[in-house]
Amino acid sequence: MSFAPLPRRLAVAATVVSLGAGLFAAPAVAQPPGRQRQRDFAAAAGEFGVPLDVLLGVSYLESRWDYNAGTPSTSAGYGPMHLTDLRSAGGAGTEFDQGAEDPRGDTARPALRPKASGPAAPPPTLQTADTAASLLRTDAATLRTDPKQNIRGGAALLADYQRRLGVHSQDPKDWYGAVARYSGSDDVEAARTFADEVFDTIGTGVNRTTDDGQQLTLAATPGLAPDRTQANRLGLRADAPAATECPRGVACESVPAPYQELPGGDYGNHDLANRPQSQKIDYIVIHDTEGYWADALKLVQDPSYLGWHYTVRSADGLIAQHVPTKDVGWHAGNWYINSKSIGIEHEGFAVKGTWYTEAMYRASAKLVGYLAKRYDIPLDRAHIIGHDNVPGTTPATIPGMHWDPGPYWDWSHYFDLLGAPLMGLGRPNSALVTIDPSFAANRPAFTGCDQLGSGTPCAPRGSEAVVLRTAPSDTASLLTDPGLHPDGRPSTMDVADIGSRVATGQRYAVAGVQGDWTAIWYLGQKGWFRNAPGARTAVPAVGLVATPKPGRATIPVYGRAFPEASAYPANVPVQALAPMPYTLAAGQRYSAGAVVCSEYFSATTFDPAEHVVVRGRTKYVEIQFGHRIEYVDLDDVVLRPAY
């Protein structure tokens, strides 16, 4: 979850939580090319007596050995060793402190306006940079900005944790307790899960080039069996296992969201249902919290706030389940999507902390893979979507829709972890493409990471987003999104402005090719992006495209797949179909997802016995229309194969 895009956000940009003065202006530290970081790890391991593969394994699970342009992670961690410094990263609020989105998105009920929570209290685990600086007799700023010293600081911390355990050994299997402590977990199962992932990584080995061109190798050590009993000596809480809907191999706890009546006949903070018997679950929505773990969990337990299904913690990948998957959460800002989805929050920020830990990616991918298999949800970007891909419900709600998890969520890596890698399956001249830039090399010049609308350049770093232009030229203007910009002005490079932007994994119909440039159909326009041989940002795809039926000059586009008026029983108010302010004209083509039946879940009372699922005869086609998905009436289009 994130904040509302421009222009409405300009009015509230001044209230965004203030950050450390140099956060997004952190200079990129020049790194010698090649293997210097490998040598830095080896030197730090030798200096502090830490097995090299343990040091490399811990760093990989935190940062994948990246420097991330000196910016903090979503849990205030810096550098390859993810040394945390909340003072520099800044405080936090919550997603709904800003913006105009109604998270419930049900126009049959009054808009839900969650109260602002104010700045979050600093979590005690988010200040390891101070401890490391003390051990090295240096300062936290050095550890944040110098990758070599950051690695030394992480090695010093591991060595200190090992000394506290009273274990004297150079055998990696005897470092399990120190690795578990490094997770920062207060829960023994979460600490074990983190350590298990580290030792699994050591067992399989990794070879990778980092975001700043460093080549590192962690040699495989098959059959490594660490002493897992060491985790019992860390003094962490060990709660009795609670019933959750989580896969094996993750740490998962139950933190229930309350279903509770409130004064004035209202209730919160989700709706009871009986999915998938009542309605099929079609989507998994990826959010970020725009705040830290403790505050997100506090809010989801507030009956006057809103409920979602899961939250994933950044530092160690701990998962908390709040709402049973059979029930409907209030999380996506679109009631049709809410009633057909599972919402997963990730501790972090769309831009303030610009990168997500490997521990979080792995835990989230295991959870999504488990849920997708359980509910037969395809592992593609038409069904595993970001909050930024959720359409507005009516034209009036479009400017307030949120845009998380933001352009720095690595969808390509995420789908690799899901076991469904994005790849080109189409012929070289296919009429359909999948967006798939190199995350590390693709660095759009976004602005406003310090404060939305400021125009201040963001720190250059890898991104999953590709920017579209009105012509095949780097100087051409961006496209216009009449939903986000009703005044007709072009989209901007502000990090919150998704009006001329596509995302990794999304599929689009090709509208033209000119030299190194490819055009796609996007919001009724041709959007051009550079797609040069040797530096491809898209790959050929196969699938179906939707185009208006012959004789239809234009067809309407909808943000909800609601039934026709005649389908509603007398006791359920008709939900009017609200066409979006876009033009889908004859000759245009859009990538088609599933054909879906029309449904409306009427759940306006506390008593679930009064809830009704209204089903109509109308069928819709989900299309990738812009950055967000939309729906068109099946009777308005022809579906054709593209390959």
> Which residues on neighbouring strands pair with residue 509, listed in sequence order?
432
Question: 69: domain CATH number?
Answer: 1.10.530
Residues 358 and 377 in one domain: yes
CA distances, 226 to each of 179, 223, 236, 359 (Å): 11, 10, 19, 19
Residues 283 and 176 in one domain: no
Asked if the structure places residue 260 within a domain, the reply is yes
- Rounded to two decimals, what is the model's pTM? 0.93
Q: What is the pLDDT of residue 348?
A: 85
Phi, psi dihedral angles at 252 (to 5 degrees): -140, 130
**What does the alpha-carbon distance between residue 389 and residue 626 come to, in Å, rounded to a whole number?**
9
> Does pLDDT of 30 surpass 60?
no
> Does pLDDT of 3 surpass 70?
no
Last residue of a domain, one of 393, 417, 441: 417
- Beta pairing, strands 206-209 & 215-218: antiparallel
Cα dihedral 485, 490, 496, 502 in deg (nearest 10): 110
In sequence order, which residues have a C-beta less than 8 Å from that of residue 581 and are 6 or more positions away? 395, 398, 482, 483, 486
User: pLDDT grade, residue 244 (50/70/90)?
Assistant: very high
User: pLDDT grade, residue 87 (50/70/90)?
Assistant: confident
Cβ–Cβ under 8 Å, residues 601 and 335: yes
Using only C-alpha atoms, what is the Rg of the chain? 24
Q: Using one digit for the tens of pLDDT, what is the confidence trace for 300-357? A: 999 999 999 999 999 999 999 999 999 999 999 999 999 999 999 999 877 776 799 9
Full residue range of the structural domain in which residue 273 is found: 1-15+240-417
Mean pLDDT of 465-494: 97
Last residue of a domain, one of 417, 437, 453: 417
In sequence order, which residues have a C-beta less than 8 Å from that of residue 12 and are 6 or more positions away? 98, 99
**What does the alpha-carbon distance between residue 241 and residue 595 come to, in Å, rounded to a whole number?**
40
Question: 327: domain CATH number?
Answer: 3.40.80.10
What's the start-to-end Cα distance of the chain, in Å?
A: 34
In sequence order, which residues have a C-beta less than 8 Å from that of residue 473 and are 6 or more positions away? 528
> Which residues on neighbouring strands pair with residue 640, listed in sequence order?
545
Q: What is the pLDDT of residue 450?
A: 86
Task: At 5, list the tokens.
Answer: 């895009």
Residues 8 and 69 in one domain: no
Residues 306 and 410 in one domain: yes
**What does the alpha-carbon distance between residue 201 and residue 341 come to, in Å, rounded to a whole number?**
32
Asked if the structure places residue 492 within a domain, the reply is no
Mean pLDDT of 595-609: 96
Pairwise pLDDT comparison (455 vs 75), residue with the higher score? 455
Q: What is the pLDDT of residue 194?
A: 97
Cβ–Cβ under 8 Å, residues 509 and 589: yes
Q: Which residue has the tokens 């488990």?
A: 370
Mean pLDDT of 6-27: 32
Total domains in the chain come to 3
**What does the alpha-carbon distance between residue 110 and residue 85 come to, in Å, rounded to a whole number?**
41
Asked if the structure places residue 616 within a domain, the reply is yes
Residues 163 and 224 in one domain: yes
Asked if the structure places residue 548 within a domain, the reply is no
DSSP class of residue 207? E
Percent of the chain with pLDDT over 70: 91
Q: Which residue has the tokens 């469904």?
A: 420
Q: What is the DSSP string of 407-447?
A: TTS-HHHHHHHTT------S-TT-SEEEE---TTT-----B
Q: What is the DSSP string of 598-609?
A: EEEEE--SS-GG
Q: Using one digit for the tens of pLDDT, what is the confidence trace for 482-527? A: 999 999 999 999 999 999 999 999 999 999 999 999 999 999 999 9
Last residue of a domain, one of 214, 233, 252: 233
**What does the alpha-carbon distance between residue 332 and residue 324 come to, in Å, rounded to a whole number?**
16
Asked if the structure places residue 545 within a domain, the reply is no
Residues 294 and 408 in one domain: yes
Residues 226 and 297 in one domain: no
